[in-house]
Amino acid sequence: MGKLFIPLQVLFMLLGTLFWTDEASAIPPSAITSGQNCLGCHATADNMPGLYKQYSKSAHYEKNVTCIDCHGAQADDPDAFQHYETFISVIVSPRDCQKCHETAVKEFEVSQHAKARELVTTGVGAYFLNNLAGSRHFGDDAKYAAGTNGCLRCHGSEILMDKNGHPTKETWPNSGIGRKNPDGSMGNCASCHETHEFSAAQARRPESCAICHNSEGGDPQIETYSASRHGTTYAAKSGQMNFHSREWVVGENYSAAPTCATCHMSATRDMPATHDIGKRINWSALLQETNSIAVQEKCGLPVGLKYEQPAPASEHRENMEKVCSACHSKMFSGHFFKQYEMEVRLIKEKWLEPGKVLFQLVTEVLQAAEKEKYAFLTHPIDYTWFGMCNTTAKAAHTGAAMMSPGWTEKGNGGFAAAWYSSYIPALKGIIEKYGDSSDKEVEKRVKALREKLNEIMNKKAYSGPWDIKETTPGK
């Protein structure tokens, strides 16, 4: 089939090109650079009829914004190539949208979303990606596989261009949220606004966040939301949400249930919509009072990106409370936030802080024993602790934040199970393995680890006996 098909296709393309080039050369060159010309041809071209139909449903089509307004390029742009009589680029960056959507672009640029690529290329993210990818020792371009098909599809690739102004196959297609574009800008508006409809209505739905915010990538926000009362109410009433309304103010244009966008982005009566998703977050996933990426710090893992929001964290909480107050009383949501904070403290104080101290001490033992051969992410305990921090603690935190009791329990129960059945036994195993080392440095490090482990595990919080009266109000 392939052999027969290819020549036919080539012939077809050749005929098409000749035909269109002929038509185009009949028009003065200045007119070719007009948007109408792109449309005139693309509306009738046999290529990509679906793409044109998507576009023709958009607000852009209504307002006469055409292909060239987004794809137009200067001849000397790194991503420009000649398309018939004019220069275009297939890459469209936030900078291309900026001339008409200044506010959205400015807000996006300062958000955590625009920094997402840096998370993968620095600190623990870089260790993890290198480790999965098999590093440079692995054959040809297979070394890019893990990043290209995995991490960078969510976090964003750096788009590289070939000498013809076409993006390279390793780096594009990619709609990662913190993508690095050839013009130096970061991010990609098409992460949430699918081409070519660019609809606000679609982005307001929780599904548009789910491509990235899901448990398979270690970030179970769509699952926690779906298993919360908000998510189940949304599922029952999504037909009553008025998604296509031009203004989408919670409590005015809709009231059935909140979606991700409602709480993190869309407008309330007294607060405009924002593309800066950090503006309403007080504790980020990563369990730190400011908005920096802190899993690394809280877990004693290699720190990469540090990111601080300009506004004080308390202001972020007030912003979020404005959303709740469209549907709930101040006392109701106020109590909720206190309940959530209890969970944040539990994970932080009972599990992450002592676990981090032990991880640092065990790392010192391994470093002393393995000397220059030591590498992070080559020992079982590295994976145990990374998984506990990155997946299990995050499940508990995200479960509490998005009001999903099942996920909170999964995180809390999972952490305790990993602590007693994997982490502590692994620490003891390493103490035993290096316990009678003749190397003075190793001996010193093992002693420090053993003493700390005993000190922590002798505390009542880890050794019991426990009393239900102390842990359950009213009992």
Least CB distance from residue 322 to ligand HEC, whole Å? Answer: 9
Q: Pick between residue 214 and residue 437 the one whose CB is nearest to ligand HEC.
A: 214
Tell which residue, 127, 136, 125, 64, has the closest CA to residue 100: 64
Q: Pick between residue 91 and residue 446 the one whose CB is nearest to ligand HEC.
A: 91
Buried b (16+ CB within 10 A) or exposed e, 198-229: bbbeebbbbebbeebbebeeebbbbbbbbbbe
Q: Pick between residue 113 and residue 445 the one whose CB is nearest to ligand HEC.
A: 113
* Tally of CB atoms within 10 A around 321: 17
- Report the sign of the C-alpha dihedral through residues 226, 227, 228, 230, in that order: positive
Q: Which residues contact 441 (CB under 8 A, 6 or more apart)?
A: 368
Q: Pick between residue 290 and residue 437 the one whose CB is nearest to ligand HEC.
A: 290
Least CB distance from residue 462 to ligand HEC, whole Å? Answer: 25
Q: Is 3 left (phi over 0), alpha (psi -120 to 50) or beta?
A: alpha
Q: Which amino acid is at 264?
A: H
Q: Pick between residue 327 and residue 457 the one whose CB is nearest to ligand HEC.
A: 327
Q: Pick between residue 362 and residue 395 the one whose CB is nearest to ligand HEC.
A: 395
* Tally of CB atoms within 10 A around 121: 19
Least CB distance from residue 68 to ligand HEC, whole Å? Answer: 4
Least CB distance from residue 139 to ligand HEC, whole Å? Answer: 19
Least CB distance from residue 221 to ligand HEC, whole Å? Answer: 4
Q: Pick between residue 180 and residue 445 the one whose CB is nearest to ligand HEC.
A: 180
Tell which residue, 190, 167, 186, has the closest CA to residue 178: 186
- Report the sign of the C-alpha dihedral through residues 453, 458, 460, 462, in that order: positive
Least CB distance from residue 2 to ligand HEC, whole Å? Answer: 20
Least CB distance from residue 49 to ligand HEC, whole Å? Answer: 11
Quote the tokens at residue 271.
């607060």
Q: Which H/E stretch holds residue 82?
A: strand 81-83
